Copies of this chain bind each other. A is one copy, B any other.
Amino acid sequence: MTAFDAQAPRLIALDWGTSSLRAMLLGPGGTVLDRRSAALGIMQVGAGGFSAAFAEVAGEWRAAAPDLPAVAAGMVGSAQGWREAPYVIGSAGPEELANGLVAVESGSGAPVHIVPGVAVDGPPPDVMRGEETQILGALAIRPELAENARLVLPGTHSKWASLSGGRIAGFRTFMTGELFAVLRAHSILGRPARDARASPGGDDAAFALGVATARECRDGIAPLLFSARSRVLRAGLPAASSLDYLSGLLIGDEVRCAAPEGPETLAMIGDAALCNRYRQALALFGRPDIPSIEHATETGLWRIACAAGLAQEEATP
């Protein structure tokens, strides 16, 4: 293997979150040569287990090339992770993230470089870990997002990031996904659907009603949540559709707060089904057909590795 081998591995890229570890073997230009994944998130692994978890997904690649550099993004850099990578404060681009990489001995060859998260110091403050890497990846894939653009990253803790000068200029977190999950599993709002053994996703009209209800309530969701129950009791909302309505309320309120009606270009990164829900909601706010960007994570890890000199940008020899 030489540096000019077009199929030679160049980087081990790790997306290491709370509940899972995804590893990608990247070749020249950041092309994906191989993938592994395991339920080895930081909650499963715990202190002392990170080297073994890394070896489990990347050991074969490292055995073939012990000096292959590795870069990891996500909660692996939190205080509960492998090694804490202090936040980059405020505006962040590839250079700040590359400069903030924290190297940890991997136990098998070269160190693993952990990408820092990004913090903004409000008040109130806000933080991200992992999304900064996806955002930089999206900027590499869609360079026109460098100015006057916003990226929506729907999820457990949704992020809305403003982009300027090819950098993350600011962001806000909405706990929409986690709020939905705990209300579904543990509150009275989830009971009708639990009793009906119904899953959300089947009733677009109920979802749209939730979005429209949230769009009209400038006070936010506090006075609206109970309507996911009262509409079942009093307004003919089918029990089996009550989670679609609740999902619409929560996503609709997030979109309303984020005020997507402005002139910025919008794009999304995330799970396809969830992005479809956000796309439906954004359309009801007059922003139809917002595209999703694929492969943002591996592209972002590659880009940060290049900015740090751990890999070279050249696509082909």
Interface residues of A (CB under 8 A from B): 87, 119, 121-127, 157, 172-176, 178-179, 182-183, 185-189, 213, 218-227, 229-231, 233-235, 250, 253-254, 256-257
Contacts and interface: CB of A to CB of B under 8 A. Distances in A.
A119 B226 CA distance: 13
A254 B250 CA distance: 17
Counting every copy of the chain, the complex holds 2
B182 A231 contact: no
A230 B126 contact: yes
A125 B183 contact: no
Contact of A226 (B175, B186, B187, B256): B175
A6 to B, nearest CB: 43
Given A226-B157, A233-B125, A178 B187 contact: yes
Question: Which of A224, A230, A235 gathers the greatest number of chain B CB atoms within 10 Å?
Answer: A230
Contacts of A125: 227, 230-231, 233-235
A45 to B, nearest CB: 17
A241 B225 CA distance: 26
A176 to B, nearest CB: 7
A257 B173 contact: no
A182 B186 contact: yes
Contacts of A253: 220, 222
Contacts of A222: 174-176, 220-221, 250, 253-254, 257
Question: Which of A179, A222, A233, A235 gathers the greatest number of chain B CB atoms within 10 Å?
Answer: A222
A188 B227 CA distance: 25
B173 A230 contact: yes
A126 to B, nearest CB: 5
